[in-house]
Amino acid sequence: MKINVLKNYKELSSTVADIVETQIKKHPLSKLCLPTGSTPLGMYDELVNKKLDWKSVITFNLDVYLMNITRPQSYQSYMRKNLFDRTNIYPDHYHFPFRPFSAFEDKIKGSKGIDLCILGIGTNGHIAFNEPGSSFKSRTRVVNLSEQTIKDNSRFFDSVDDVPTQAITMGLETIMESKKIILMANGDHKLNILNVAMNGEVTEDVPASILQNHKNVKVYYSD
């Protein structure tokens, strides 16, 4: 698969923000699937600055930690702070994975599916919180986070012991049903896993490698 290499983080952020802008302007009723982590922060800033009309847009977040959602590290807090509270999206139009998971999945299907899904990638090849070994047939569920992910994400918490050990994530099959997928990755430390995932064997040991089986995926990288 082609990895589109961009000049820097700014260009990565603006390239993906432009894709989201085009999607929303062409289809105001778009259903988006959104990521968290440090990589999409610049893209969210760019999107906010575009002052788009979000009133008909519906979003589904990829994953959430199992933790107190009022804490600043929760993905619910992250999304409100970095995007939702800075746009005119209706609070009942954005969704985080919820129980029963079948109802969350039905909500996605009921809205005719996800038009555009933006993904990041973990250093162990995870997408959303689908850790190595996740079934390609997986759907929304509770997962245990790997040691590597807990270590990587500890930079957002007071200490490694403060990082939740479990999360709820959309499954790989759920993600693959999106009509269009963009994977964004930033930094040297992501280059190796990106190459393995996009051009190596398609295997459940590298969850992101499933994207090789999708017809409409674009991958953007900056160092």
Residues at the contact surface with ligand GLP, assessed by CB under 6 A: 35-39, 62-63, 120-122, 128-129, 149, 153
**Residue number, 46 or 63, with CB nearest to ligand GLP:** 63
User: Three-state DSSP class for 127?
Assistant: strand
**Residue number, 97 or 122, with CB nearest to ligand GLP:** 122
**Residue number, 89 or 128, with CB nearest to ligand GLP:** 128
Closest by CA to 59, choosing from 81, 30, 86, is 30
- Nearest distance from C-beta of residue 135 to ligand GLP, angstroms: 18
Closest by CA to 198, choosing from 186, 207, 189, 211, is 211
**Residue number, 52 or 163, with CB nearest to ligand GLP:** 163
What are the two backbone dihedrals, phi and then psi, of residue 12, each rounded to the nearest 5 degrees?
-60, -45
| Beta-bridge mates of residue 180 | 116
Enzyme catalytic residues: 63, 124, 126, 131
- Nearest distance from C-beta of residue 170 to ligand GLP, angstroms: 10
- Nearest distance from C-beta of residue 14 to ligand GLP, angstroms: 17
- Nearest distance from C-beta of residue 26 to ligand GLP, angstroms: 26
Tell me whether residue 136 is exposed, middle or buried, using C-beta atoms within 10 angstroms of its C-beta: 0 to 12, 13 to 18, 19 or more. middle
- DSSP for 156-195, written as a single string: GSSSGGGS-SEEEE--HHHHHTSSEEEEEEESGGGHHHHH
Q: Distance between CA 37 and CA 51 in Å, rounded?
A: 22
